[in-house]
């Protein structure tokens, strides 16, 4: 009996031990995948605790929050709720694996453990197959910071970003391979390696259309601006395919079709297909729809003008082709002549004027319109506020603008004021922003606020060069915002007094004793500060003497009768802005004095010893309507001037036929006429066409004196000097030819050197130049250009043929840096030779220029 009891006790103990060993409290049990928990018989438990294991970088509290497991809440195990714990955590894309375990069960209380296996972290992304700059640009777009999770989303976004970048560069079909590798230096980290083969840039082979009946394929391709398929006349082949340009081109094509009256025109479907490894084809299925015409036009809301007057201003009538683009342009502008309806009203003070065309009826091919207007009331300018001028005094800007307190609001004058502020040269033209503010409807007043941004305007020229056996150094300083009113104020010297819009320029050039030249100029655009009266004063002095190099002493020294020339001069100018024919006109009057003293200086002038004086009066009238001084896009600049000296030969008793040259030309006499015109027209986008024509004529009062050897024109070269002090000639730039070598065809061989040295009395020059900006901001302005120009010089009027010219073509670039001015480089190719002069002398392919004076031409 005792043995039986022992056996029963042993069996009971083993049974209890086995059952106890199956409880979750003794070993963790996966609640969603175990025999202990059955979906057929789920049980409710109270959550007694939640722990997280396997998390190295993530906070356990955050993961528990995401799991929605809250201690004290009931949970059914197993159930959809337990499955959602894993689902929610996996959806974070942070883990390779997530499991939910029950670590203990005490009666109706369950303790849970979330086991996670984190995805590897990113160490870095290595990209091969691209240039350094391209790689850097892509990494800027990518988030390549270390510590990110390496998952499918990271790899996909990396590939997508690279593909998008390459598509922008016309690489439409790149091969991109992405692999990952363990980082041996850091646990659970990976390096992502991207191998890129860009393949070739894709160009457009052809563009085909379907569904077009009215418009030909050729017309539609012309409307598709920005997409250039292969054609026989495209010397450099088809254009590159860029998706953003392609989308813009489609919009432009539809706009052009609608402008022709086909307002329902649309692209039903378009697709691209691969023609070969280098090119794609484009196919478009277009819908033209019917052509519409303008029907009846009704006006509503107009009180200032009658319907008949508004119809005249609109310039569209019943029966015209219906064009929304033309209609909107005539209603709201902007139009070139500011003759749109919005301009007519807003230039008369109606600041809040609003206009909206409404289609009232469409029947067959006719559209009736009602043009609804809200005239509002006339506004008067209360205050003009200036913001952003940290250096320039308010009065310098306010005196230049055309929107004054007490005047009626005018959109045209607001635009003109922006132009005048830009012309000052002290502010970034791209950042001059006008805005009507503080509108008071009851009183009909508004304030005008001009926001400006100062830019560096002072310029420095520091250069050195070697030529003709000597080193020449140049130092020039130009202060474009000088202030004489603050000259005696100690605190204003930073380093010079500034803020009054005056210009002070000092320049010195020397090679030691052989050559020295110094010049000074000062200008005040508002003399007295109340009226736009321009005052300018300039002076120069120059000395030159010939020397030779003594090899024994290894120094330059003068000859026994050392050839010398000394020059000095002064010019004073007064100018005034005119109101007639319009307020773009300016008139300037100048009085100039120059003295030349020569000693043994033969070979350049018509005499070698003596003095020559040049006293002249110059009258100039100009009209300048260009919109910006640095990179003009519209407007013109016209200038006509005449310079006169006293007619000495008519007042003295000198016999010019027998007089010595130094006596004959001691008092220089002439009359000099010049005309210069420049026109700027925006062709498309930012592409600008500049056209220019220049003429010059130097005449004499008497046949006995002949044409003066001074003040002649020298055509060719870079034109950097503007005026040749040593030879008394005016230099006119013409690229492709060397300095002064475009001489008259009638010049004999014995006079060629004289013509090159002294210049010609008559010249004409024409220029066409296409410009496109590369960079436009306050730090620098950069634009490229292509040019064609032609010009010639003549000895007398009977020889003048304005169509018989020397021609040149080329390309170039301009860089404007506020501290240095305009820097230029051009490559010109001369097409016509200069007879009697070797090509090595008259050709000059590269020309460089530094232009510091940005006012005027």
Output 386 or 741, whichever has higher pLDDT: 386
Distance from C-alpha of 259 to C-alpha of 251, rounded to nearest angstrom:
12
Q: What is the reported pLDDT for 844?
A: 87
Distance from C-alpha of 738 to C-alpha of 846, rounded to nearest angstrom:
9
Contacts of 654 (CB under 8 A, 6+ apart): 663, 664
Output 311 or 21, whichever has higher pLDDT: 311
Distance from C-alpha of 770 to C-alpha of 684, rounded to nearest angstrom:
11
Q: State pLDDT tens for residues 268-286.
A: 999 999 998 899 999 999 9
pLDDT at 15 over 90: no
Distance from C-alpha of 837 to C-alpha of 6, rounded to nearest angstrom:
135
pLDDT at 655 over 50: yes
DSSP state of 201: P
pLDDT at 9 over 80: no
Q: State pLDDT tens for residues 497-535.
A: 989 999 999 999 888 777 889 999 999 999 988 889 999
Q: State pLDDT tens for residues 168-178.
A: 888 999 999 99
pLDDT tier at 193, thresholds 50, 70, 90: very high
Give CA 551 to chain center in angstroms.
54
Distance from C-alpha of 661 to C-alpha of 664, rounded to nearest angstrom:
5
Average pLDDT value for residue range 814-829: 87
Residue 422: count of CB within 10 angstroms of its CB: 22
Place of tokens 């209603």: 331
Distance from C-alpha of 97 to C-alpha of 90, rounded to nearest angstrom:
7
pLDDT at 757 over 70: no
Q: What's the Cα-to-Cα distance from 655 to each of 120, 611, 652, 664, rounded to whole Å?
A: 104, 18, 9, 8
Radius of gyration of the chain from its Cα atoms, rounded to whole angstroms: 41
pLDDT at 98 over 50: yes
What the block records as the tokens of 721 is 């000097």
Distance from C-alpha of 47 to C-alpha of 102, rounded to nearest angstrom:
10
Q: Are 97 and 87 in contact (CB under 8 A)?
A: no
Q: State pLDDT tens for residues 679-711.
A: 999 998 789 999 999 999 999 998 888 888 889
Distance from C-alpha of 96 to C-alpha of 178, rounded to nearest angstrom:
19
Question: What are the structural domains, with CATH classification, of the chain?
Answer: 2-118 (3.10.20.310), 121-197 (3.10.20.310), 203-287 (3.10.20.310), 293-374 (3.10.20.310), 380-451 (3.10.20.310), 615-851 (2.40.160.50)
pLDDT tier at 721, thresholds 50, 70, 90: low
Average pLDDT value for residue range 289-301: 95
Q: What is the reported pLDDT for 482?
A: 92
Average pLDDT value for residue range 435-440: 94
Residue 128: count of CB within 10 angstroms of its CB: 11
Average pLDDT value for residue range 11-33: 50
pLDDT tier at 854, thresholds 50, 70, 90: very low
Q: Are 713 and 762 in contact (CB under 8 A)?
A: yes
Q: State pLDDT tens for residues 550-589.
A: 555 555 555 556 788 888 999 999 999 998 999 999 999 9
pLDDT tier at 17, thresholds 50, 70, 90: very low
Share of the chain above pLDDT 90, in %: 49
Q: What's the Cα-to-Cα distance from 406 to each of 377, 747, 847, rounded to whole Å?
A: 16, 64, 52
Compute φ and ψ for 750, nearest 5 degrees. Answer: -75, -15
Output 741 or 769, whichever has higher pLDDT: 769
pLDDT at 88 over 90: no
Q: What is the reported pLDDT for 555?
A: 56
Q: What is the reported pLDDT for 857?
A: 28
Q: What is the reported pLDDT for 469?
A: 54
Average pLDDT value for residue range 253-263: 94
Q: What is the reported pLDDT for 468?
A: 47
Q: What is the reported pLDDT for 604?
A: 61
Q: Tell whether pTM > 0.75.
A: no
Q: What's the Cα-to-Cα distance from 80 to each of 66, 71, 626, rounded to whole Å?
A: 16, 18, 75
pLDDT at 11 over 60: no
pLDDT tier at 487, thresholds 50, 70, 90: confident
Output 662 or 131, whichever has higher pLDDT: 131
Distance from C-alpha of 487 to C-alpha of 545, rounded to nearest angstrom:
38
Residue 33: count of CB within 10 angstroms of its CB: 10
Distance from C-alpha of 4 to C-alpha of 785, rounded to nearest angstrom:
115
Output 720 or 649, whichever has higher pLDDT: 649
Q: What is the reported pLDDT for 736?
A: 93
Give CA 118 to chain center in angstroms.
50
Exposed / middle / buried, residue 794 (Cβ in 10 Å: 0-12, 13-18, 19+): buried
Distance from C-alpha of 293 to C-alpha of 115, rounded to nearest angstrom:
74
Average pLDDT value for residue range 96-110: 87
pLDDT tier at 151, thresholds 50, 70, 90: confident
Place of tokens 């008793």: 653
- Range of weakest confidence among 98-102, 378-382, 747-751, 770-774: 747-751
Output 432 or 562, whichever has higher pLDDT: 432
Share of the chain above pLDDT 70, in %: 89
Contacts of 159 (CB under 8 A, 6+ apart): 176, 178, 194
Give the up-direction half-sphere exposure of residue 115: CA atoms within 13 A in the CB hemisphere.
11
Taken as a whole, the chain contains a residue count of 857
What the block records as the tokens of 620 is 């100039």
Q: What is the reported pLDDT for 334?
A: 75
pLDDT at 231 over 90: no
User: What is the enclosing helix (H) or strand (E) of 422?
Assistant: helix 411-423
Task: Dump the DSSP string for 626-656.
Answer: -S-SSS--SEEEEEEEEEE---GGGTS---T
Across the chain, what does the average pLDDT equal? Answer: 86
- Range of weakest confidence among 68-82, 153-167, 458-472: 458-472
pLDDT at 755 over 60: no
Give the up-direction half-sphere exposure of residue 53: CA atoms within 13 A in the CB hemisphere.
9
Give the up-direction half-sphere exposure of residue 582: CA atoms within 13 A in the CB hemisphere.
5
Q: What is the reported pLDDT for 842?
A: 83
């Amino acid at each position: 009996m005792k043995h039986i009891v022992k056996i029963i006790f042993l069996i009971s103990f083993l049974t209890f031990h086995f059952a106890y060993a199956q409880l979750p409290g003794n070993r963790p049990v996966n609640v969603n995948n175990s025999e202990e928990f059955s979906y057929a018989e789920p049980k409710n438990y109270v959550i007694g605790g939640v722990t997280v294991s396997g998390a190295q970088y993530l906070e356990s509290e955050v993961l528990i929050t995401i799991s929605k497991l809250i201690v004290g809440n009931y949970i059914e195990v197993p159930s959809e709720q337990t499955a959602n714990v894993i689902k929610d955590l996996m959806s974070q894309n942070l883990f390779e694996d997530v499991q939910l375990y029950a670590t203990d069960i005490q009666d109706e209380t369950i303790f849970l453990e979330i086991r996670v296996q984190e995805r590897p972290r990113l160490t870095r992304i290595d990209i091969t197959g691209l240039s350094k700059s391209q790689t850097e640009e892509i990494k800027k777009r990518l988030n390549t910071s270390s510590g990110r999770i390496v998952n499918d989303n990271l790899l996909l976004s990396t590939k997508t970003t690279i593909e998008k970048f390459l598509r922008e560069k016309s690489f439409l079909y790149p091969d991109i391979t992405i692999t990952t590798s363990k980082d041996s230096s850091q646990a659970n980290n990976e390096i992502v390696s991207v191998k890129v083969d860009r393949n070739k840039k894709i160009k457009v082979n052809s563009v085909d259309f379907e569904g077009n009946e009215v418009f030909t394929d050729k017309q539609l391709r012309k409307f598709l601006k920005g997409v250039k398929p292969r054609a026989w006349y495209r010397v450099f082949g088809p254009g590159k395919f860029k998706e953003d340009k392609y989308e813009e081109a489609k919009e432009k094509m539809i706009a052009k079709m609608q402008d022709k009256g086909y307002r329902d025109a649309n692209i039903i479907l378009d697709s691209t297909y691969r023609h070969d490894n280098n090119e794609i084809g484009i196919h478009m299925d277009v819908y033209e729809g019917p052509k519409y015409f303008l029907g009846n036009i009704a006006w509503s809301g107009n009180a200032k003008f009658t319907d008949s007057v508004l119809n005249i201003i609109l310039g569209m009538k019943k029966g015209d082709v219906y064009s929304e683009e033309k209609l909107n342009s005539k209603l709201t502008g902007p139009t070139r002549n500011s003759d749109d309806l919005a301009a007519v009203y807003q230039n008369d003070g109606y600041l809040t004027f609003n206009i909206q065309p409404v289609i009232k009826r469409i029947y067959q091919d006719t559209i009736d319109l009602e043009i609804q207007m809200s005239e509002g009331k006339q506004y008067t300018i209360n205050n003009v506020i200036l913001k952003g001028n940290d250096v320039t005094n308010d009065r310098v800007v306010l005196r230049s603008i055309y929107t004054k307190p007490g005047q009626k609001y005018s959109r045209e004058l607001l635009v003109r004021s922006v132009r005048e502020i830009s012309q000052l040269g002290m502010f970034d033209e791209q950042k001059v922003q006008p805005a009507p503010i503080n509108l008071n409807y009851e009183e009909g007043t508004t304030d005008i606020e001009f926001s400006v941004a100062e830019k560096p305007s002072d310029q420095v020229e520091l250069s050195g060069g070697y030529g003709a056996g000597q080193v020449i150094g140049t130092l020039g300083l130009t202060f474009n915002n000088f202030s004489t009113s603050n000259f005696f104020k100690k605190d204003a010297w930073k380093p010079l007094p500034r803020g009054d819009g005056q210009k002070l320029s000092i320049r010195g050039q020397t090679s030691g004793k052989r050559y020295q030249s110094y010049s000074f100029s000062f200008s005040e655009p508002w003399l007295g500060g109340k009226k736009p009266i321009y005052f300018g004063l300039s002076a120069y002095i120059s000395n030159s003497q010939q020397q030779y190099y003594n090899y024994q002493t290894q120094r330059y020294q003068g000859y026994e009768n050392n050839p010398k020339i000394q020059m000095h001069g002064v010019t004073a100018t007064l100018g005034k802005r005119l109101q007639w024919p319009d307020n773009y006109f300016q008139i300037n009057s100048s009085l100039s004095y120059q003295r030349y003293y020569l000693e043994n200086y033969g070979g350049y002038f018509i005499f070698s010893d003596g003095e020559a004086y040049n006293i002249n009066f110059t009258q100039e009238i100009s009209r300048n309507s260009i919109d910006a001084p640095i990179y003009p896009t519209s407007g013109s600049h016209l200038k006509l001037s005449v310079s006169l000296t006293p007619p000495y030969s008519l007042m003295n008793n000198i016999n010019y036929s027998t007089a010595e040259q130094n006596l004959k030309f001691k008092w220089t006499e002439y009359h000099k006429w010049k005309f210069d015109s420049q026109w700027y027209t925006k062709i498309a986008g930012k592409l600008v066409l500049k056209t220019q024509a220049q003429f010059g004529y130097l005449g004499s009062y008497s046949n006995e004196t002949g044409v003066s050897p001074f003040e002649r024109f020298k055509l060719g070269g870079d034109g950097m000097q503007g005026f040749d002090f040593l030879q008394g000639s005016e230099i006119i730039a013409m690229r492709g030819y060397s300095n002064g070598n475009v001489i008259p065809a009638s010049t004999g061989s014995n006079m060629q050197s004289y013509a090159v040295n002294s210049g010609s009395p008559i010249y004409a020059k024409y220029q066409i130049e296409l410009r496109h900006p590369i960079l436009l901001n306050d730090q620098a302005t950069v634009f490229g250009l292509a040019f064609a120009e032609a010009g010639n010089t003549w000895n007398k009027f009977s020889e003048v043929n304005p169509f018989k010219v020397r021609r040149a073509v080329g390309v170039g670039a301009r860089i404007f840096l506020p501290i240095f001015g305009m820097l230029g480089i051009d490559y010109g190719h001369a097409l016509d030779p200069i007879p009697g002069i070797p090509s090595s002398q008259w050709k000059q392919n590269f020309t460089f220029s530094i232009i510091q004076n940005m006012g005027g031409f």
